[in-house]
Amino acid sequence: MINSSLKQLSQMLAKKEISSVELTQTFLSRINQFNPSINAFITLDEAKTLTQAKAADVRIAAGKAEALTGIPFAQKDIFCAKGWQTTCGSKMLANFIAPYDAHVISQFDAAGAVNLGKTNMDEFAMGSSNETSYFGGVKNPWDFERVPGGSSGGSAAAVAARLCAAATGTDTGGSIRQPASLCGFTGLKPTYGLVSRYGMIAFASSLDQAGPMAKSAEDCSMMLNVMAGFDERDSTSLNRPKEDYTRGLVSMQGDKPLKGLRIGLPKEYFAEGLDAGVAKVVQDAIAEYKKLGAEIIDISLPNSKLSIPVYYVLAPAEASSNLSRYDGVRYGHRAEKYTDLMDMYCKSRAEGFGAEVKRRILIGTYVLSAGYYDAYYLKAQQIRRLIADDFVQAFKKCDIIMGPTAPSTAFKAGEKADDPVAMYLQDVYTIATNLAGLPGMSIPAGFSNGLPVGLQLMGNYFDEARMLDIAHAYQQVTDWHVRMPELKIPEVAA
């Protein structure tokens, strides 16, 4: 059951083969067993969770169930959920009880889904290994010595270890896709503006986007149906007609379901810096796509190598502005001792933020300070356009772009923790889509030395349905997405 798809769980619930309470308890008992070692969750509240499960059972009995009613999900701790501790992985918000629901949370609630708990993450989503969390690192379920990736590391580990049916994440520079690659599951970052950012704690507002983290493309499509949609409370939410993201999946049958599909392979994504084992897995996956009828086309994204420098100007600049709200006055951490108001601000922020968050605030403050604006911020915005234009040109030649999601498999905890620049390179293949606002996915494509490898799919704006179809076609003929790690953890004494 823990490895069942959302569709299967939904059918089991509809047929009353299992109740939502039973299903929820199955996952809660796995969480109790494994979470002490994995540390995927920051906050659990069984009473709240089971109340939702009971309500879902009532709704199912009344014949008013929707696709996700009664299914337990883990929510990244970046989403405000009313009455739940919502920390964003930071000491600054360690005692913050959200007074309202994020749009994503209300959407899951309205669908009758069950909230299993809030998952661990890099502090304010700034990191690629989950090591910057105030609440400690997260173990990669495939190898406990290794990181799950980040920033959505807790959600990633929870999905990989089957501690939840699926989870939510957010992706500013790769925070859904890179952990999906490192933990071996399917993750989607939608087109910027598709999922409302209301109540999602802000990091870099022009890049942040929420998305599903699940076993398969089919699961992601069902979740996106619930998550996507216009919300007037987010000024950048796009007002478009509602789509059914599952609509095309059924057509991905037969011998050559992808006949006529043009897949672009950017040469820059297969150059120096890519681990040979990862490259091999990705090439094998591309070969599988050829068998499904796709045509492979060589393309170039010449400015993509600049996406990391551009990102590390723009994201910290936006972060320094967004995080200025944490002043210790209205909520969040306030220092115990201070001499005056200025001292209270400076001490509260020095104590409340961790080292990486402080670094990014300082970088952002610097690049926005008088005299440097043109050289850094404006320059970065200009190159951002060049990067986005590369994709416009590429999509004239192909329908979808594929490549590796991350340059390597999961690395060991501590390996890059002291070298921010080495850590930043983890997102070398994912950041460009955030800058351009395009949708990106990572799907499990195999293993290198026993560790999962993800294949990245990059689509044109609002092409999520087609990307999910293309991912689904691959998952019809491969079984990487249903592989799960053997968790060798001693049972916790009762």
Partner 1 sequence: MALNITDIKSIAHLARIEINEQEAATTLTKLSGILGLIEQMQAVDTKDITPMSHSQNVVQRLREDVVTQTNQREEFQKIAPILGNGSGLPAVQDGLYLVPQVIE
Site for partner 1 in 298-357 (CB under 8 A): 303, 306, 308-310, 312-313, 320, 324, 327-334, 336-350, 353
Closest CA to 151 of 225, 215, 207, 218: 207
- Among the listed residues 20, 90, 129, 151, the single catalytic one is 151
CA 257 → CA 162, 316, 474, distances in Å? 30, 43, 10
Burial class (CB in 10 A: 0-12, 13-18, 19+), 420: middle
Site for partner 1 in 184-223 (CB under 8 A): 192-193, 206
Pairing of strands 262-266, 400-404: parallel
76 is catalytic: yes
In the complex, the smallest distance separating the C-beta of residue 206 from partner 1, rounded to whole angstroms, is 5
In the complex with partner 1, the residue whose CB is nearer, 51 or 235, is 235
365 binds partner 1 (CB under 8 A): yes
91 is catalytic: no
Site for partner 1 in 383-422 (CB under 8 A): 383-386, 388, 419-421
Q: 3-state class of 265 per DSSP?
A: strand
- Among the listed residues 4, 20, 76, 307, the single catalytic one is 76
424 binds partner 1 (CB under 8 A): yes
8 A C-beta contact, residue 200 and residue 465: no
Complete DSSP assignment for 140-164: BTTBTTB---SSSHHHHHHHHTTSS
Q: Please count the residues of this chain forming the interface with partner 1, following the rule CB under 8 A.
A: 74
Complete DSSP assignment for 406-466: SSSSPPBTTSSTT-HHHHHGGGTTTHHHHHHT--EEEEEEEEETTEEEEEEEE--TT-HHH
In the complex, the smallest distance separating the C-beta of residue 58 from partner 1, rounded to whole angstroms, is 28
Stretch that binds partner 1, among 213-221, 378-386, 392-400, 442-450 (CB under 8 A): 378-386
Site for partner 1 in 39-58 (CB under 8 A): none
In the complex with partner 1, the residue whose CB is nearer, 89 or 332, is 332
Residue 370 gets the label, from left (phi > 0), alpha (psi -120 to 50) or beta, of: beta
181 is catalytic: no
In the complex, the smallest distance separating the C-beta of residue 393 from partner 1, rounded to whole angstroms, is 15
In the complex, the smallest distance separating the C-beta of residue 146 from partner 1, rounded to whole angstroms, is 24
In the complex, the smallest distance separating the C-beta of residue 47 from partner 1, rounded to whole angstroms, is 20
- Among the listed residues 133, 175, 348, 442, the single catalytic one is 175
With tokens 């069950």, the residue in question is 114
Closest CA to 173 of 413, 392, 387, 340: 387
Task: Name the residues annotated as catalytic.
Answer: 76, 151, 175
